[in-house]
Amino acid sequence: MKSLKSILALSFLFLTATSSLVCSDGLELKDFKEDVVKTVVVSPNGAANFKTIQEAIDYIPSGNQDWIKIILSPGIYNEKIVIPKEKQKIIMQGNNASEVILQYNDAGLSSSSGPIIVNAEYFAAINITFKNANFSKSTPIIPKKEVNVAPSIILMADKAWFYGCNFISVQDTLADYRGRHYFKNCYIEGAIDFIWGMGQSIYQNCVIYVRGRTSKRGRMLRGFITAQGRESEQDTSGFVFNNCVIIGNGMASLGRAYRGYSRVVFYKTNMSNVIVPQGWDAWGQKGHEDKITFAEVKCTGEGANKEKRVKWEKNLTDKEIDFLIHPKTFIDEDGWMGSLPSSLVSLL
């Protein structure tokens, strides 16, 4: 397998750069009014304010109303972190995602395994790798017996934002469990349901890497990129992938229906041949496919050939697509993104 750094370098040749002063959804510098009031530094060798990330989280007062930045020095942080709901407005930032690795060897539970659980609103992370180390010694093609539920992050709250982060595991990698979230220029790796949950999220300019896995007899097994859990027509949740890239060394469906009204849309995404021809799986919702919203719009690449796609894939109107792909309408209708610090505007 190519190194993570080389994969990212190749993949982002497909992606579109964003202006440093005007965001892709129309937000401008004047829209951002709050700023960071305090910064602390964490280093695993102890040459900082704190030695562990959890110590820095514990330091933040409950009911915090001001943005606090936690700078992570280069290193591997082997710890299990919980951010309680009363500790809002936290920014965790590294200088380079390949040098700042937050990991933990913990598998088996989709709601609590892994290195970090975010229960607080207004959480931001920049240039950090979140990794479930349970598979750190696996070969590029993973034997079926080694696959287990192993999140790299669990998002349990509304209003989270990620830039330049890596999420690495095999099954249930990114637990986009609940709330509105925005991911930009991120890398997400896994094999089974590795972007899953009931979240309402936009993935902008992200790289999705499908890991290969084999049966006991060595046969390549199909994986699933998404498992989204929208539960009704009134449920506003869904996963939207805008201008992303899908690559890998395995094969996978774009998604399977985790709940009855599952909603996943890929827009202007470049898909390699890792995507299986049928594209999607109704899973436990067979016979009720009319309630599922799985769609691909203006996608490119060998894997985007729709000739053999499932017949029940949705054809969305231009108005529906326009609503879903823009943060202002899909995830920022109340303007929460405008409360992010102005110092982050160039990254949006």
Per-residue model confidence as pLDDT tens for the chain (348 residues) = 445 544 544 444 444 333 333 344 544 444 445 688 899 999 998 789 999 999 999 999 999 999 999 999 999 999 999 999 999 999 999 999 999 999 998 888 888 889 999 999 999 999 999 999 665 455 677 777 777 889 999 999 999 999 999 999 999 999 999 999 999 999 999 999 999 999 999 999 999 999 998 888 889 899 999 999 999 999 999 999 999 999 999 999 999 999 999 999 999 999 999 999 999 999 989 999 999 999 999 999 999 999 999 999 999 999 999 999 999 999 999 999 988 887 776 676
Q: Could you tell me what percentage of the chain is helix, strand and coil, using 3-state DSSP and rounding each to the nearest 5?
A: 15, 35, 45
Instruction: Give the DSSP H or E segment for 338.
Output: none
Q: Rounded to whole angstroms, how far apart are CA atoms 186 and 340?
A: 19
Angle formed at CA 97 by CA 95 and CA 103, multiple of 5 degrees = 120
Q: Tell me whether residue 46 is exposed, middle or buried, using C-beta atoms within 10 angstroms of its C-beta: 0 to 12, 13 to 18, 19 or more.
A: exposed
Backbone φ and ψ for 185, nearest 5 degrees, come out as: 55, 40
pLDDT recorded at residue 203: 98
Domains in the chain with CATH codes: 4-16+38-333 (2.160.20.10)
**Nearest by Cα to 267 from 234, 290, 300:** 300
The first and second tokens of residue 175, run together, are 């637990």
pLDDT at 9: 47
CA pair distance 196, 205, nearest whole angstrom = 18
Per-residue pLDDT, 34? 64
Report whether 127 contacts 165 (CB < 8 A). yes
Catalytic residues: 172, 193
Helices (runs of H) and strands (runs of E) counted in the chain:
4, 28
